[in-house]
């Protein structure tokens, strides 16, 4: 652990060094007691989940999470260049530099939205710069996931920084988190080029009044093309606001744009005989499924939030259900599902692995299934993602596996 880099109400951030790799990192140390007293433990868990979900070159990387009885430690990428806000505070940026940062911001936010994540607090203070002047989005504490949507498919929590928040968020009606982020991106682009806020007022209420009417002016020296883009982003009616895809088609945005590629994940070998996990097959053959310990069963099926998965370096997203069907009948049913979906299948005993043919966002989806015996005529079936995209795996479980297996499961 090294020097203190900064601190807030619930956490302190230190520089640190990995003694095995000599890599410099930043460690955010969160006090559990303070977080629990403020009722914000769910927000911390959400932030961990989201940062594990959004792996992108323009998003600060969460490397590891550790915990003691009183502290939670976020081990993160150390971004040396500081906040973009500090750079803008020294004066407005050139059009070319502003465009580079805006391109990287949009690339990161597009990726977040594709994961179902709305940031909801985009501002220059939450945009960091590395030693190569590349932008990194940080602070996902107020972010939202699809499960935070209400029955109307919208978000309803009022949050964000007043000067950057979209008008619909301030109103008490629901809003689309992705479209709210686009408004914030419009404010950021205006600030980068002008050096000041578009809706600057002494009182917050006056600022909101201007925001609700989109009343702002461009200085005479503001470049024409980016001003047209800002005008398409700062639109009060979110339905008419330009989309991320629309932004990426704008000629001004496209100049010199190099899409940031998300970290590559090795594509599983397409040969079904090689797809099957060797570790999964290493155990000796048996005519009956592996016995599922009662303690394992209770722990796995518990409705409580299990923090252990947040601290594993190789997290497996799992889902399970119980069945009164025989193990062989269950395996036959799952193999039938795999063949119907045109998945390649490898199986041995009561373990199966299936792999999709089509390329997803992170390569081809591969799913492992194992059947355990709990008691006579009671089995537990566990699904887990081996490779591919998490959201594609969740969709597979909800839309393909669950409906196809509904006649054999008793409960989740």
Helix, coil or strand: residue 231? helix
The C-alpha atoms of residue 317 and residue 382 are separated, in whole angstroms, by 10
121 is catalytic: yes
Q: Report how far residue 375's alpha carbon sits from residue 309's, in angstroms, rounded to the nearest whole number.
A: 27
Q: Which residues, including other chains, have CB under 8 Å from residue 37's CB and lie 6 or more apart?
A: none
Element (H, E) at 15: strand 11-17
Q: What are the two backbone dihedrals, phi and then psi, of residue 339, each rounded to the nearest 5 degrees?
A: -65, -35
Q: Are 351 and 330 in contact (CB under 8 A)?
A: no
For residues 120 and 208, what is the distance between their CA atoms, to the nearest angstrom?
17
- Indicate the burial class of 352 (C-beta count within 10 angstroms; 0-12, 13-18, 19 or more): buried
State the catalytic residue, choosing from 33, 61, 110, 121: 121
In which element (H, E) is residue 6 found?
A: strand 4-7
Q: Which of 367, 366, 370 is nearest to 266 (CA)?
A: 366
According to the annotation, is 406 in a ligand binding site? no
What residues form the annotated binding site?
A: 32
Q: Which residues are catalytic?
A: 121
What residues form the annotated binding site for ATP?
A: 32
């Amino acid at each position: 652990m090294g020097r203190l880099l900064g601190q807030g109400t619930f956490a302190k951030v230190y520089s640190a060094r990995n003694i095995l790799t000599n890599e410099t990192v930043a460690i955010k140390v969160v006090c559990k007691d303070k977080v629990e007293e403020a009722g914000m433990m769910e927000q911390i868990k959400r932030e961990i989940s989201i940062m594990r979900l959004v792996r992108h070159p323009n998003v600060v990387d969460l490397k590891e999470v550790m915990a003691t009885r009183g502290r939670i430690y976020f081990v993160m990428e150390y971004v040396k260049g500081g906040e973009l806000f500090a750079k803008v505070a020294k004066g407005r940026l050139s059009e070319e530099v502003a465009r580079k940062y805006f391109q990287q911001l949009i690339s990161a936010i597009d990726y977040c939205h594709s994961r179902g994540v709305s940031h909801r607090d985009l501002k220059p203070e939450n945009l960091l710069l590395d030693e190569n002047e590349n932008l990194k989005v940080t602070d996902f504490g107020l972010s939202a996931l699809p499960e935070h949507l209400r029955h109307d498919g919208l978000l309803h929590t009022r949050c964000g920084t007043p000067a950057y928040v979209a008008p619909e968020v301030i109103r008490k009606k629901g809003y689309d988190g992705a479209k709210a982020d686009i408004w914030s991106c419009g404010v950021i682009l205006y600030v980068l080029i002008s050096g000041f806020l578009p809706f600057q007022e002494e009182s917050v209420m006056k600022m909101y009044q201007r925001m609700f009417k989109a009343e702002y002016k461009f200085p005479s020296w503001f470049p024409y093309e980016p001003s047209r883009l800002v005008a398409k982003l700062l639109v009060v009616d979110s339905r008419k606001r330009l989309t991320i895809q629309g932004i990426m088609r704008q000629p001004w945005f496209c100049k010199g744009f190099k899409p940031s590629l998300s970290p590559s994940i090795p594509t599983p070998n397409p040969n079904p005989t090689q797809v099957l996990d060797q570790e999964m097959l290493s155990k000796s053959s048996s005519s009956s499924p592996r016995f599922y310990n009662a303690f394992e069963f209770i722990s796995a099926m518990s409705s409580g939030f299990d923090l252990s998965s947040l601290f594993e370096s190789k997290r497996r997203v799992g889902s399970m259900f119980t069945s009164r069907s025989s193990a062989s009948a269950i395996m036959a049913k799952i193999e039938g599902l795999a063949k119907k979906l045109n998945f390649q299948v490898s199986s041995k005993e009561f373990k199966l692995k299936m792999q999709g043919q089509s390329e997803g966002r992170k390569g081809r989806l591969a799913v492992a299934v194992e059947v355990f015996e709990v008691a006579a005529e009671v089995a537990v079936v566990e699904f887990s993602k081996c490779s591919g995209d998490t959201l594609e795996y969740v969709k597979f479980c909800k839309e393909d596996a669950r409906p196809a297996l509904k006649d054999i499961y008793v409960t989740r």
